[in-house]
Amino acid sequence: MTGFAGRRGGHRRRTTRRIALTPVVFPMAAIAAPLQDALQPAGPQAGHIHALWLLMLGVCALVFVAVVAALLVALRHAPRGDVATAADTQALTRDESTVRRSVGAAIAVSVALLLLLFGATVVTDRALAQLPLTDAVHIRLTGHQWWWEATYDDPEPANVFATANELHVPVGRPVVLSLEASDVIHSFWVPNLHGKKDLIPGRTATIAFRADAPGVYRGQCAEFCGYQHAKMALLVIAESPQQYDQWLARSRASALPPPDATAQRGQQVFLRSTCAMCHAVGGTPANGKHAPDLTHVASRQTLAAGALRNEPAALAAWIIDPQQIKPGANMPAHALAPADLLALVAYLGTLQ
């Protein structure tokens, strides 16, 4: 098996700067290892493309073998010569109709195979366009350098909410993403679910897919977008309709007030530092729009658009100096007293 699923001995920890912290265990649902592989389709869009891939692979492999075989046979069949061998100038006037017919036949077969492949392409194109879109989940995805902003749309304005870098979708229901970019061109690509679509500043594009199998599907920005293009990942978590509804309800709710003194102190640190200038936490005065929404950050599997596991040590390292993990990222470093840092991390840990 390929992709992010563990191969030998499970996941390897990221080696980040280690900070001595009392380990705090955050309750998270048991999660499967993420997949990122076009050859393991988990929905009809990727499935249609995969079928086309198999056909093309088969036909092209046959053609390749045939051409190489013809070449090898030609080399075996023709007698050897050397530079002094008289050249066959008779060929200029000789009737080579057998050769001509063979070449003609080869061209005809090539044309026929190309038509076959073109036809298969058209069929696949139509299949992709025919995904039923009733009862779709609508998400507006905006690409930023180097993170994904997602807004779940709903006819009821109170139900609209924002999140970042991690999408939850219900298995078996279509998802329609409208794609925009706030700065440069990005590209949304979750290979297990569908092909990619570019996010272009000044334009709104649309992509629709459906996950038919539950799982965690990893995607990555697929259009070079600057320094941290390599670390602009996102997760699409496909779950049962009941789990999805629970997640939706939690996401729509604002953050609960901090439950203990440490978390309260952490919230104070958050609100009086520069955090609130860029980040938003629902239910608090923090309403920044330039960085990922943190209302439910503790419920996500990763931080920094897939660059880090969502764990306290990683979060602390990220807050202290993002440039160590994603050099060039737009988030500045923060010099915080250790107690403040611990409190802040604890507070963020309560934002389920």
Partner 1 sequence: MSADGSAGTLAAHPGRDRPAYSARERYGGWVDEPGLLGALATIDHKRVGVRFITTAFGFFVLGGLLAGLMRLQLSRPDSTLIGPDLYNQLFTVHGTTMMFVFAVPIMQAMGVYFVPLMVGARDIAFPRMIAYAYWVYLFGGAMLFVALALNIGPDAGWFSYTPLAGPQYGVGKRSDFWAQLITFTEVSGLLVAVSVITTIFKLRAPGMTLNRMPLFVWALLITSFMIVFALPSVMMASTALILDRLVGTHFYNQAEGGDALLWQHLFWFFGHPEVYFIFLPGLGFVSTIVGTFSRRPVFGYVAVVLSMIATGFLSFGLWVHHMFATNVPELGKSFFTAASMVIAIPTATQIFCWIATLWTGRIVLKTPLLFVLGFFFILVLGGLTGIMLAAVPLDLQIHDTFFVVAHLHYVLIGGGVFPLFGAFYYWFPKVTGRMLNETLGRWNFWLFFIGFNVAFFPMHILGLQGMPRRVYTYAAESGWGTLNLISSLGAVLIVVSVLLFVINVVRSRRRGTAAGPDPWGASTLEWATSSPPPPGNFHPQLAVNGREPLWEPDGVSGRVDGLTNDPPEVLVTTLLDASPHHRRAVPAPTIWPLLAAIATTVMFVSSIFTPWAVVWGSIPIAIALIAWFWPTREEAAKHRKRELPA
Partner 2 sequence: MTAAAATPIAVQRVAVDAARLPNHAFGHQSVMWWGTVGIMAIEGTAFALTVFMYFYVWTRVDAWPPDALPPELRWGTLNVAILLASVLPNYYTKRAAERYDLRGVRIGMVVCLLFGAAFIAVRALEFTTLNVSWDTNAYGSAVYLLLGLHTTHLVTDVADTAVLGTLMFTGPLDRSRFVDVSENALYWNFVVAAWLPIYAVLYLMPRWL
Residues making contact with partner 2 (CB under 8 A): 83-84, 86-87
Give min distance, CB of 212 to partner 1, in A.
Answer: 17
- From the list partner 1, partner 2, none, pick the one residue 23 interacts with, judged by a Cβ distance below 5 to 8 Å according to partner type: none
Which one, 133 or 230, has the nearer CB to partner 1? 230
Give min distance, CB of 295 to partner 1, in A.
Answer: 27
Position 141, amino acid: L
Which one, 294 or 313, has the nearer CB to partner 1? 313
- From the list partner 2, partner 1, none, pick the one residue 275 interacts with, judged by a Cβ distance below 5 to 8 Å according to partner type: none
Give min distance, CB of 5 to partner 1, in A.
Answer: 8
Which one, 157 or 202, has the nearer CB to partner 1? 202
Which one, 208 or 275, has the nearer CB to partner 1? 208
Measured over the CA atoms of residue 31, residue 35, residue 40 and residue 45, the dihedral's sign is positive
Give Cβ neighbours of residue 236 (< 8 Å, ≥ 6 apart). Answer: 166, 167, 169, 190, 193, 211, 216, 217, 218, 219
- From the list partner 1, partner 2, none, pick the one residue 17 interacts with, judged by a Cβ distance below 5 to 8 Å according to partner type: none
- From the list partner 1, partner 2, none, pick the one residue 118 interacts with, judged by a Cβ distance below 5 to 8 Å according to partner type: partner 1
Residues 235 and 165: beta-carbon distance below 8 Å? yes
Number of Cβ atoms within 10 Å of the Cβ of 148: 25
- From the list partner 1, partner 2, none, pick the one residue 223 interacts with, judged by a Cβ distance below 5 to 8 Å according to partner type: partner 1
Which one, 123 or 248, has the nearer CB to partner 1? 123
Give Cβ neighbours of residue 39 (< 8 Å, ≥ 6 apart). Answer: 2, 50, 53
Distance of CA 333 to the CA centre of its chain: 27
In terms of DSSP bridges, do strands 147-152 and 137-144 run parallel, antiparallel, or are they unpaired? antiparallel
Place of tokens 């992509």: 207
Reduce the DSSP state of residue 263 to 3 states and report it: helix
In whole angstroms, what is the distance from residue 291 CA to residue 289 CA?
Answer: 6
Give min distance, CB of 324 to partner 1, in A.
Answer: 10
Give min distance, CB of 201 to partner 2, in A.
Answer: 13
In whole angstroms, what is the distance from residue 187 CA to residue 203 CA?
Answer: 13
Which one, 108 or 256, has the nearer CB to partner 1? 108
Distance of CA 19 to the CA centre of its chain: 30
Which one, 145 or 251, has the nearer CB to partner 1? 145
Position 334, amino acid: H
Give min distance, CB of 101 to partner 1, in A.
Answer: 11
Reduce the DSSP state of residue 352 to 3 states and report it: coil
Give min distance, CB of 179 to partner 2, in A.
Answer: 19
- From the list partner 1, partner 2, none, pick the one residue 64 interacts with, judged by a Cβ distance below 5 to 8 Å according to partner type: partner 1
- From the list partner 1, partner 2, none, pick the one residue 156 interacts with, judged by a Cβ distance below 5 to 8 Å according to partner type: none
